[in-house]
Amino acid sequence: MAVVINDAAQFADEAVKGFVLANHRYVRATQGGVLRSTKDTESHVAVVIGGGSGHYPAFGGMVGPGMAYGAVLGNVFASPSAHQVVSVCRKADQGRGIMLLFGNYAGDLLNFTRAGQILKEEGHDVRILPITDDIYSAPKNERIKRRGIAGDLAVIKIASAAASLGYDLDEVERVSRLANDRTNSIGVAFSGCTLPGADHPLFDVPQGKMAVGMGIHGEQGIDEVAAPSPDQLAELMTTGLLKESPDVEEAAKPRVVPIVNGLGSMKYEELFLLYSKIEKLLVKSGLEVLDPQVGEFCTSFDMCGVSLSLLWMNDELLDLWNVPADSPAFHQGVVSQEDLSTDNELYPQTESNDEETLCVEASEESHACALRLAEMMHTISYVMDEKVDNLGRIDSIAGDGDHGIGMQRGATAASTAAGNAVILGAGLRTTLNTAADAWEDKAGGTSGILWGMMLHAMAKHCDDTNPPTDADIVNGIVAAKNAVMEFGGASCGDKTMVDAIVPFADSLETEDGPLSATWRKAAQVSSAAAEATKDLLPRMGRARSHGKQALGVPDPGALSFSYIVSALTPYFEDRGMDDSEATTADGDLVRAS
Catalytic positions are: 217
Whole-angstrom Cα distance, residue 71 to residue 82? 13
Report which DSSP code applies to 227. Answer: P
Q: How far apart are CA 580 and CA 593, in angstroms?
A: 6
CA proximity to 62, closest of 408, 356, 326, 291:
326
Query: CA 275, CA 281: separation in Å to the nearest integer?
Result: 10
Specify the length of the chain in residues.
593
Cα(128)–Cα(116) distance, integer angstroms = 7
Say which amino acid occupies 466. N
CA angle in degrees (0–180, nearest 5) for 87-92-93: 105
Q: Rounded to whole angstroms, how far apart are CA atoms 445 and 78?
A: 5
Interstrand relation of 33-36 and 70-76 (parallel, antiparallel or unpaired): antiparallel
Neighbour tally for 48: CB within 10 Å: 28
CA dist 377 and 392 (Å) reads 21
Contacts of 69 (CB under 8 A, 6+ apart): 35, 36, 44, 46, 47, 48, 63, 92, 94, 163
CA distance 443 to 446: 9
Per DSSP, 303 falls in state: B
- Helix H or strand E segment including 183: strand 183-191
Instruction: Select from 377, 361, 356 the least CA-distant residue to 427.
Output: 361
Backbone angles phi, psi at 395, to 5 degrees: -65, -30
Cβ density class 444-466: b for 16+ within 10 Å, e for less: bbbbbbbbbbbbbbbbbbbbbee
Backbone angles phi, psi at 514, to 5 degrees: -70, 160
Around 582, how many Cα atoms within 13 Å sit in the side-chain half-sphere? 28
